[in-house]
Amino acid sequence: MLTVHHARAILIDDETESSGDLFLQNGVVSAPDARHDGPDDETFDTLDASGCVVTPGLVNAHHHLLQTAFRTLPGTRGVPMASWLPTMAAAYARAGIDPELEYAAAHAGLAESLLSGVTTVADHHLNWPGGPGNTDIDLTVGIARAAASAAADLGARLVFVRGSARDDPEQAAQSADAIAEALVPNAAGGVRSDGLLQVAVGPAGVHSDSPETFRLLGEVAARRGLRRRSQANEQVDVAIALEKYGRRPIDLLDEWGWLAPDVTLAHLCAVTDDEIARLAASGVTATHSPACDLPMGWGIAPVAALRGAGLAVGLGTSGGGSNDASNLLADARLAMQIAPLVGAPIPARQVLGMATKGSALGLGRPELGSLAPGDAADLCVWDVSGVADAAVADPIAGLLWANPGRKPRHVVVAGRVVVRDYRLVAHDERVIAADLKALLATRHAR
């Protein structure tokens, strides 16, 4: 059992807050009157939250963890996506994608995420050994296992999305089925019983994947109860869809059966009012990735309009090839700041809700992203007692408005403390960083 003591404020969800103590037991949030229900030999731990704000753990709904090994590469900043994609592909080829590289990159990306307050990461893995059409299914399973192992080693929740980018459709589907069987066999909704590991499927988008790929991955998802994810309406997606099919991405996704409540679409920068209405009517959810799309010049999603139409909108960092940080709180701040440029302001608490419950709903995980009794015991403790937060009238809103780049003092996942006093409990982050650097050096990848 874990007790969080004396919090200045506790954000239950974006509309509800309390203060004082929070009780966690058996991996979930416990009601105060149930706090002594454990066995006599149960271990008790406490976290002092004096002068702190407690929030649900942040949920990164769209990452590419492999790209943690390829940050700030020359020729990848502020360029059209049509130029960015082959530059990144060449870097992957030089390094050689395999389980060893996946583990090192995911280990670093997930460690950075936890230290930034992100307790759940959805890893949309799109790039596989040998390039499109040459995927070894056993090797793809090994890569998925490596990502899952990195998450387990750190205590993070992981959603591994078996993605595709011009892969052979049948091989992609066979790989997705094999990965689900290896990681979450017979798991309801593709979620392991402890909730720490989930599998989903996700073509990169209509710009790269064929109708057959969408169909076959959709069949795997239907058979195994997996969530479906894709990317839509960044600049290259719209341009290629019009050139190749004479139609826009949303039209194609609708025709291919990928506008449905089990689907989450990332980016959605260039969407029309009519398309927003269609998305809302279909029940899809959305993921906003402003720190990828804005600095790269790939567009800005009209988040206020999407939310106003009734879509659940989450937040994602995307990967290190376009956003060199896994700090979702920083990206939430950016999302709040740029919202008026593409519609209307969004209050800080609602943006925090996007980074928690909004992302969780897109993963089909309603137990994540809030701190009501029975919810998953994932939380962050943010110290707001320093000068960077001095005279802040609303300490919860101040998490975004004040103190850019802040990090949580403590982080808890499934009732287990994984970050204490700004440090990983089980690892030295410098060793993790050095391991990735050394591996890349042996491959002459940097």
Both tokens of 42, joined, read 């149960």
Does some domain include residue 10?
no
Q: Under a CB-based contact definition with an 8 Å cutoff, are residues 358 and 58 in contact? A: no
Cα 117 to Cα 182: distance, rounded to the nearest angstrom: 29
Does some domain include residue 225?
yes
What is the DSSP-derived secondary structure letter of residue 415?
Answer: T
Does some domain include residue 350?
yes
Cα 437 to Cα 272: distance, rounded to the nearest angstrom: 43
Both tokens of 303, joined, read 């988040």
Assessment of whether the complete model's pTM goes beyond 0.95: yes
As a residue count, the chain comes to 446
357: domain range? 61-362
Burial of 185 per CB tally in 10 Å (0-12, 13-18, 19+): exposed
Cα 109 to the chain's mean position, in Å? 11
Residue 55: which residues within 8 A CB-CB, separation 6 or more? 11, 117, 352, 356, 371, 379, 380, 382, 396, 399
pLDDT of residue 99: 97
Cα 277 to Cα 86: distance, rounded to the nearest angstrom: 34
**What's the pLDDT tens digit per position in 355-385?**
999 999 999 999 999 999 999 999 999 999 9
pLDDT of residue 236: 85
Residue with the two structure tokens 């060199």: 324
Question: Half-sphere exposure of 378 toward its Cβ, with a 13 Å CA cutoff?
Answer: 28
Q: What is the largest CA-CA distance in the chain?
A: 67
Cα 159 to Cα 386: distance, rounded to the nearest angstrom: 35
Q: Under a CB-based contact definition with an 8 Å cutoff, are residues 57 and 13 in contact? A: no
Does some domain include residue 417?
no
Does some domain include residue 145?
yes
Q: Considering only CA atoms, which of 314, 316, 270, 264 is closest in space to residue 291?
A: 316
Provide the 10 A C-beta neighbour count for residue 199.
29
Provide the 10 A C-beta neighbour count for residue 363.
27
Does some domain include residue 38?
no
Q: Under a CB-based contact definition with an 8 Å cutoff, are residues 97 and 125 in contact? A: no
The total number of structural domains in the chain stands at 1
Q: Under a CB-based contact definition with an 8 Å cutoff, are residues 336 and 122 in contact? A: no
pLDDT of residue 364: 98
**What's the pLDDT tens digit per position in 387-419?**
999 999 999 999 999 999 899 999 999 999 999
pLDDT of residue 130: 73
Q: Considering only CA atoms, which of 189, 157, 282, 176 is closest in space to residue 219?
A: 176
Cα 342 to Cα 129: distance, rounded to the nearest angstrom: 39
Does some domain include residue 27?
no
Mean pLDDT by 10-residue block, N- to C-terminus, for the chain (446 residues)? 95 93 96 61 83 98 98 92 91 94 98 98 94 78 98 98 96 97 94 97 97 98 98 91 97 98 97 98 98 93 98 97 96 98 96 98 98 98 98 97 96 98 97 98 81
Residue with the two structure tokens 């980074």: 355
Residue 165's CATH number? 3.20.20.140
Does some domain include residue 404?
no
